[in-house]
Every structure is written in C-alpha cells, then in structure tokens.
Amino acid sequence: MFIKDLTPEMYLRLKKAALLHRRSMAKEALVAIERGLEDVVTRPLPPPVKPTIPLTQAWLTRAIHAGRSRL
C-alpha cells in the first residue's frame, strides 16, 4: 500500500502509532481509515417536494422563454 502526500508530521504520527500497536505502517493506516469511516452516517434523503402547480411542458417552455427575455 502506498499513501501519497503525507506531511512529515503525519508520517511520524503514523509511524509512532504503528510501533505502539505493533503493526506495519500500511496496516495502521488501514485501521485509521476504518475508524474514521465508522463515524460516517448515511442519512436518508428527504421526501420529494410537491409542487404547488403542475409542471407541464407548456409551463416549462414559457418559463424558459421568460428567463431568456430577461437576459
């Protein structure tokens, strides 16, 4: 495993953690990534917005032309 663009400080922190936990640096990096991703929570999407007026093709065409005339 190869990690690019580690700062010298981050490299030393990773190396110290790997030594402390008796792991290779690659394994320590994987453990750190796994721990960081445990907190990632996927949230459900909100319900769709219900329009107050029907969005027909005619309405959309008028809106497009009205928007162009303002340019």
| Domain ranges for the chain | 1-40
Stretch among 6-15, 18-27, 45-54 having the lowest mean pLDDT: 45-54
Instruction: Output the CA–CA distances (angstroms, integers) from residue 4 to 7, 8, 71, in the order listed.
Output: 9, 12, 47
Predicted pLDDT at 61:
92
pLDDT band at 7 (very low <50, low <70, confident <90, very high): very high
Instruction: Output the CA–CA distances (angstroms, integers) from residue 48 to 22, 34, 45, 57, 62, in the order listed.
Output: 50, 33, 9, 20, 24
In this predicted structure, the answer to whether residue 71 has a pLDDT above a threshold of 70 is no
How many other CB atoms are there within 10 angstroms of residue 55's CB atom? 9
Average pLDDT over residues 46-69: 88
Give me the sign of the Cα torsion angle 58, 61, 63, 66.
negative
